[in-house]
Amino acid sequence: MKFISVRLHIWRNTHWEDFTVQVSSEAYVLDALEAASEQDKSLLFRHACHHASCGSCGLRINGRERLACITPVKDVINTLGMIRLEPLRNFPLIGDLLVDFKPFMQQLDRIDLPLRRSAELLSKEINIDSFKRVFNKAALDIPEISPGFNRLENCIECGLCVSACPIAGTDILYSGPACLAAVGRVLSEPRHRSVMDIIELVDNEHGLWRCHAAFECSEVCPAGVDPAREILALRSHILRNNFKS
């Protein structure tokens, strides 16, 4: 296996600090970061799954929001062998590369339904028509809807979209792309929830109408959620409804 030397240029609250580590040429940024943390155990960062599933390792890598666990070192290392790492923007900073997700999760929590991740039992009372829009036919062909069927949700709550959004940086109360995309998701699969109640949460100047269509959220989203599209489609839905009534 070929090894390469990487200099991680890391923002540490008040100053930049460099860590030089040896990693495999096939390593990911998170591997390099873990090697750096061997040199200094006080280095703060978050990770868990190592495969773009838990959404906890989001960073700004060379200024761009990415998941450290799926970003190959060789894709982002510059000619001087350096990679610049900074914490996500628009979140309270805990320290080093670690930000506080609590306000973000609280926002998402208000929308609730599309983000329930635990294996949920699908029962017959669920509106199968709305499911047809989400799941492919094959999934519906499972004879008895099996207990433990895991709803496959795209958003991994990584917060990259919030960090990339230029508006989240100017309006502290802005709901943010992930939260608004979640509302769009509820709309496409209401599951007996009152859609109007949920839309009301974001039908205001700090919600849906704050987006300025910079499309940065969709550029950085690692899960293909395309929040910008969801937000603007939701707007169009509300406008149409308002015209009708």
Partner 1 sequence: MKRRSRWFEFHLHPAGMLAFMIHRLTGIGLVVYLYLHLWILNTLRQGSQAWDTFLQMMRSPMVLLLDAVLLFGILFHGLNGLRLSLVGLGIGLRWQKWLFWGSLGVAVCLTICGIWIMV
Q: Token pair 């860590």 is at which residue? A: 19
| Residue 47 near ligand FES by CB under 6 A | yes
How buried is residue 88: exposed, middle or buried, by Cβ count under 10 Å (0-12/13-18/19+)? buried
Cα-based distances in Å from 110 to 74, 199, 229: 40, 11, 21
Question: Is residue 54 a contact residue for ligand FES (CB under 6 A)?
Answer: yes
Strands 3-12 and 82-86: parallel
In angstroms, give the least distance from the CB of 93 to ligand FES: 19
Q: Does 55 bind ligand FES (CB under 6 A)?
A: yes
Choosing among ligand SF4, ligand FES, partner 1, none, which partner's interface includes residue 127 (Cβ < 5 to 8 Å by kind)? none
Q: Which residues lie across from 64 on neighbouring strands?
A: 61
Mark the segment that binds ligand FES (CB under 6 A) among 50-58, 121-129, 132-140, 166-174: 50-58
Tokens of 218: 């969709």
Residue among 61, 77, 160, 234 that touches ligand SF4 (CB under 6 A): 160
How many alpha carbons lie under 13 Å from residue 125 in its C-beta half-sphere? 4
Nearer to partner 1, 34 or 222 (CB): 222
Q: Which of residues 186, 227, 231, 234 is near ligand SF4 by CB under 6 A?
A: 227
For residue 97, the minimal CB distance to ligand FES (Å) is 13
Nearest to ligand SF4 of 183, 199 (CB atom): 183
Which residues are near partner 1 by CB under 8 A?
63-64, 87, 89-93, 166, 168-170, 172, 212-216, 218-219, 228-229, 232-233, 235-237, 239
Residues 69-128 that bind ligand FES (CB under 6 A): 69
Which residue, 57 or 97, is less far from partner 1 as judged by CB? 97
CB 93 within 8 A of CB 41: no
Measured distance CA(237)–CA(199) in Å, rounded: 10
User: How far is C-alpha 184 from the geometric centre of its chain's CA atoms?
Assistant: 15
Handedness of CA 33, 34, 39, 40 (dihedral sign): positive
Stretch touching ligand SF4 by CB under 6 A, among 10-18, 42-50, 149-157, 234-242: 149-157
What stretches of 40-125 show up as alpha helix (H) in DSSP?
A: 73-76, 102-111
Residue ranges binding ligand SF4 (CB under 6 A)? 55, 155-161, 177-178, 181, 221, 223, 225, 227
Residue ranges binding ligand FES (CB under 6 A)? 47-50, 52-57, 67, 69
